[in-house]
Structure 1
Amino acid sequence: MPYMGLFLLLVMAITLIDVIRTDDALIRGLPKIAWVLLVVFIPLVGAIAWIAVGRPTADDLPRRDPQAGAFPEYERPGRHVAADPEADRVFLEQVRARAEEQRRKGREQRAAQDRRDADPE
Structure 2
Amino acid sequence: MFRYLPFLLVLALWIYAFIDCLNTPEEQVRGLPKVVWVIIILLFGEVLVGPIAWLVAGKVRHAPAGGSTPSEWHRNHRTEFVAPDDNPEFLKSLKAENKKDEALLKDWEADLRRREEELRRRERGEEPRAD
TM range, smaller chain: 0.5 to 0.7
Structure 2: 5+ residue runs without aligned partners? 65-69, 116-131
- 4+ residue runs of structure 1 moved beyond 6 angstroms? 66-69
Q: Secondary structure at the match of 1:9?
A: helix
The TM-score with structure 1 as length reference comes to 0.54
Distance in 2 between residues matched to 1:42 and 1:67, nearest whole Å: 35
1:98 and 1:34, CA in 2 relative to 1: closer, same or farther beyond 3 A?
closer
Could you tell me how far 1:100 is from its partner in structure 2?
1.6
Structure 1: 5+ residue runs without aligned partners? 81-87, 113-121
Over the aligned positions, Cα root-mean-square deviation in angstroms equals 3.7
Match of 1:24 in 2: 26
Answer 1 or 2: which has greater helix percent.
Answer: 2
1:98 and 1:26, CA in 2 relative to 1: closer, same or farther beyond 3 A?
same
Distance in 2 between residues matched to 1:106 and 1:36, nearest whole Å: 59
Match of 2:76 in 1: 65
Could you tell me how far 1:54 is from its partner in structure 2?
1.0
Instruction: Choose which of 36, 40, 54 in structure 2 pairs with 1:50.
Output: 54
* Aligned residues with identical type, % of pairs: 23
Tell which has more relative contact order, 1 or 2 (C-alpha 8 A, sep 6+): 1
1:9 and 1:105, CA in 2 relative to 1: closer, same or farther beyond 3 A?
farther
